[in-house]
Every structure is written in C-alpha cells, then in structure tokens.
Structure 1
Amino acid sequence: MSARGSDVGWAAGLTLLLAAWNDLLVPRLPRRAYAPANATAAVALLAAARARGTSWSELGLDPRRLASGARYGGTCAAVVGAGYAAALALPALRPLLADARVTGLGRRELAERVLVRIPVGTVLWEEVAFRGVLPPALHRVLPRRAADAAAAALFGLWHVAPTLEGLALNGVGTGPARRAGLVAACLGTAAVDVLFTGLRRRSGSLLAPALVHLAANDLGTVAAAAAGRRDRE
C-alpha cells in the first residue's frame, strides 16, 4: 500500500473507531469498566500513532511545551472555576447546575467520579483521541479546515449516547424537548472541540485543553452536587 493509501486507511479506521466507541461500545460495558477500558484505549491509540511515525510534538506531548500548556490551560481552568462558583453563589443561576446524575450520589461515588471516572475515563481518553491522535491523522489526508470540521463533528456525535442518558435521567426522555436537547448538546460539544483544538494549537501542548476539560467536568460535577444539597436544605 502507498503512503497516501496508508494514511487514508489510518484516518478512516480511526474515525470509524471513535464514531462507534462512545455511542455503541461504552453503553454495553459494565460501569466499573469505563475508566480501565478508556485508559487502555488511550494508551493503545498513542502506541499505534507513534508506530506510524506521528511525533510527540504532533500529539501535543512534547515535554518542552508543558509550561505553555500549563499556563494556557491553568488560566482558562481558573475562568471555568470562577463561573461555577458564581453560578453556585447566585440563587437565580443555581438551577442551571442541576443534574440528576450527580444529585443522588453519595460521597464515595462522588469521589470516584471526580478522582477516577472523569480524569481517567473521560479527560485522558478524549484528549488523547480527539486533540492528540485524530488531528494529525486527518491533516495528512484533508485540508486543515476540513480536518478540523470533521473532528468537531465527530466529537459532537461522540456525545449522543451520554446526552440521551442524561436527558432521560433529568426527566427529558421523549418528544421535541429531547430532540432539541440532543441537537443542542451535539452542537455545543462540537463547538467545544473547536475551542479545545485552538487551545491545543496555540499552546503546543495537550495539557492545555486537558486542564480546561478536567476543570469543566470535575468542577461541574462538584458544583451540581453542592447545588443539589443546598436545594434539599
């Protein structure tokens, strides 16, 4: 196979894998397997990319760019944290934090989600896949704008199954509200990919979007739990 054909095959196979992973495979896994399976997949994907000659710099893992990644990511993560703190402090905004997936969690379950499930099962895997391995694979076979658009669309579709689960648990299981919520979530996460990809590109490090991603998910979970407890008091 020619180098061009090999690049096309790699990009296509990677796209198909990611299209199926979160919406078809993960919902069939036992809950306890989520973090180990996704962490293993992240390591395997990195190994495959390196075996194909993708550099550490292309993957966003050049050690020389860690300081830049920490600076950009830390600044943006602080903004995210300030936003959650403001929403939690203001009664008018607190309902926006409500999430039935979090409200009923005990302390141990909440700690497991914040310390393991989100950092390892979600942030590590998604950042490696979507901001590390996928961009250089797509850029070798598509113009930059088309590659970025394809990655953003794929990241939006990646969230179909978890969005449907979240809507159902929050009492939006059928009808137009469900469809509107699903479309909004997919478009929103596609936009997030554009933002995270820009942050990764500007900083030169995967650490930047990973820090923001971790802050958004972890602090969002803690804020939702805190808002739920305040509402019950």
Structure 2
Amino acid sequence: MRIRVVAAVGLPLLWNNWLLPRLALDHRGRTAANAVAATGYALVFRGRPNWLSGPGTRIGLGCAAVVAAAYTAAVAVPAVRRSLAGAEDRAADVGTLEWVALHIPLGTVYTEELIFRGTLDPLLDTEFGTCAGALLGSAAFGLWHVFPARAAGDNILVTVVFTGAAGLVFGALRRWTSSATAPALPHWAVNAGGALMSRL
C-alpha cells in the first residue's frame, strides 16, 4: 500500500515538473495533456471528485463570489490597479475568452482539483489520517508548482509556500463538502480573476 501512496504523490510531481515541460507543447497542447493525464491518474488511483454535489456547488459558488468581491474591491484601489496593470501576461498568445473559459478551468482547475483534492487527498486521508493527509497533500500541491515558478521567474520558495497554503484551504473545502467542486469554483475564480484584472 505504501508503494501505491509514494506513486500517487510522486507521479504528479514528475509530470508537472519534468515530463510536461519536456514535451514543449503550446497552451492548447498543455491543456489537453493535463486533462488527459489527470483523468488517467484519477482512474488509476480511484479518484472520488464527486463533481455533482449540491453542497459542493453551493459552497464553491459562495467562495467564488467572495473572491470576485475581493477582486472588485482591490481594483478600486489605485495602487492595486496599477500593480495589476503592470503584471506580466503569461498567456499573451491566447485570447482572454479562451484563457478564462478553456485553459484555466480545464488545464489548471480540472487537472489540479481532480489530481489533488479529488484523488490524492482522500488517499492520503485514508492512509495517514485527516491532519497528516492534509499536510502531505498541500505540500505535494506546493511542489507541483516548482517548474512553473522557475519558468516564470517567480521565487520558487514563496510560490511553493503560497500554493501549499492554498492547497490546505482547498483541501478543507473538499473535506467539508466531500466534493472537489467546492474548491474548484474558487480556484477558477482566483485564477480567472487575476487573468481578467491584468488584461482589463
């Protein structure tokens, strides 16, 4: 069983930090490859995302609304608005609608929520208990972002810590509702909101 757990933790990290970058795909190729890889991973490790959960949808929509309100309030502050306007566009070759409606929800949110909250977190909770499972799952989620941070020129340690903390919050939402939809909706709102604010 422990070999299975090591594989479940290690395979996503190898995929995102080693194999996927070496495929040298464009945005559309990466989105498709990520979605296929996440689906295969969930099938192999018996993921339980429970996408069609009523409580998950309600909680997720509520959290996404809070995120949207926070972005709206932030844009009202001139210093924040200037900072967002100066942010680098990491998908300049992709239209805004395609980026927000396809690549973020499918290539990022579906992929990450299915792998981490829908599959890995329940497996780790079963193996190690909720507290240790939450810490291990969030650490893996943070480490998933090592190569993307390096490629973007971001501080790797800050990125890992920040995304690991986000993984704790997203994991708590999944545990509360037994659905990956609860974290998926605010996850999309955070990423899509950031993309929209920097472009608009």
Correspondence for 1:101 among 89, 94, 106: 89
Rounded to whole Å, the distance in 2 between the matches of 1:93 and 1:62 is 34
Equivalent residues in 2 for 1:18-57, closer than 5 Å: 18-29=12-23, 30-31=25-26, 32-50=28-46
Q: Which residue of structure 1 aligns with residue 194 of structure 2?
A: 220
Larger radius of gyration: 1
Deviations 1:163-193 (A, max 9, x none): 12223xxxxxxxxxx6xx3211110100000
Secondary structure at 2:17's aligned position in 1? helix
2:144 is aligned with 1:142:
no
Deviation for aligned residue 1:62: 6.6
Correspondence for 1:183 among 153, 157, 164: 157
Task: Report the RMSD for the aligned CA atoms in angstroms.
Answer: 1.9
Instruction: Kindly indicate whether the alpha-carbon contact (under 8 Å) linking 1:134 and 1:151 is maintained by their aligned counterparts in 2.
Output: yes
> Number of residues paired by the alignment?
197
Q: Which residue of structure 2 aligns with residue 67 of structure 1?
A: 54
Equivalent residues in 2 for 1:82-97, closer than 5 Å: 82-97=69-84
Correspondence for 1:211 among 177, 180, 185: 185
CA 1:62–1:208: 2 relative to 1, 3 Å: closer
TM-score normalised per structure 1? 0.78
Equivalent residues in 2 for 1:125-204, closer than 5 Å: 125-167=111-153, 181-204=155-178
Q: Which residue of structure 1 aligns with residue 107 of structure 2?
A: 121
Deviation for aligned residue 1:9: 2.0
Secondary structure at 2:95's aligned position in 1? helix
Secondary structure at 2:127's aligned position in 1? coil
Rounded to whole Å, the distance in 1 between the matches of 2:145 and 2:87 is 16
Structure 2 unmatched ranges of 5 or more? none
Rounded to whole Å, the distance in 2 between the matches of 1:143 and 1:69 is 22
TM-score normalised per structure 2? 0.90
Instruction: Kindly indicate whether the alpha-carbon contact (under 8 Å) linking 1:10 and 1:137 is maintained by their aligned counterparts in 2.
Output: no
Deviation for aligned residue 1:91: 1.0
Percent identity reads 36
Q: Which residue of structure 2 aligns with residue 4 of structure 1?
A: none
Secondary structure at 2:45's aligned position in 1? helix
CA 1:112–1:28: 2 relative to 1, 3 Å: farther
Rounded to whole Å, the distance in 2 between the matches of 1:144 and 1:70 is 22
Deviations 1:92-133 (A, max 9, x none): 21134242124x836x52222112111111100100000011
Rounded to whole Å, the distance in 2 between the matches of 1:93 and 1:111 is 23
Deviation for aligned residue 1:42: 1.9
Equivalent residues in 2 for 1:5-24, closer than 5 Å: 7-24=1-18
Rounded to whole Å, the distance in 1 between the matches of 2:192 and 2:44 is 29
